[in-house]
Chain A
């Protein structure tokens, strides 16, 4: 599969634990986006990267959230001290540049118990 890949697909964690998700974009795609989707809602923007530079962060991204894309390839999203409200589907998308189609991964479903 040469599409956007996300790992893990599912994660169950206890409240207060830290979790990290990984996204591998389509090769040579410069832009990488993270979205969060809760039940019954559309995806909500969290942050995006142009190569390794993080260019925008949503106000939804509290200080417990951090994202990196160290070499401009894969990206990680870490949530520290998870809360039950963090339970959601976390989606990653990539695009070649600002004018081209964004391709989505299958998502990582996080459940905080």
Chain B
């Protein structure tokens, strides 16, 4: 069975500082990894997916199959980045459902 772990419940950083959200997964096959974000009073939305290899809102994430990690990084955090972030795994052999981590709340202080 697949599993996603986000070890940090809360990350508090100052504006302009780098931020890194950790995500580790376990899955025996080749998963697809995602980061979802939920801003205050808004619905859950896709931030980025590893196959796209693109940077969204300054965020990047690299899939490290050796370490089974998919950490999310941004070099200079902005106040509008304050939100809940969820790492998720999608397994083709498991009906394409998403398996989510427990989430990390990011608070960017001015």
Give me the interface of A with B, judged by CB distance under 8 Å: 3-4, 31, 33, 35, 40-45, 48, 55-56, 91, 98, 101-107
Contacts and interface: CB of A to CB of B under 8 A. Distances in A.
Interface in B46-78: 46, 49
B30 interface: no
A45 B45 CA distance: 16
Given A41-B103, A42-B86, A43-B86, A104 B97 contact: no
B45 A41 contact: no
B44 interface: yes
16 contacts: A4-B43, A35-B98, A40-B9, A40-B102, A40-B103, A42-B88, A43-B86, A44-B100, A48-B95, A48-B96, A55-B95, A56-B95, A98-B92, A101-B46, A104-B44, A106-B43
Given A40-B102, A45-B99, A102-B98, 4 more contacts: A43-B44, A55-B95, A56-B95, A101-B49
Nearest first, the 8 closest Cβ-Cβ pairs linking A and B are: A42-B100, A104-B44, A45-B97, A56-B95, A98-B96, A43-B100, A104-B43, A106-B43
Interface in B24-58: 43-46, 49
Contacts of A3: 43
B26 to A, nearest CB: 15
Contacts of A44: 100
Nearest to B95: A56
A91 B95 contact: no
B54 to A, nearest CB: 13
Contacts of A43: 44, 86, 98, 100
A55 B9 CA distance: 33
B97 A56 contact: yes
Nearest to B42: A106
Contacts of B95: 48, 55-56
A55 B44 CA distance: 23
Contacts of B101: 42
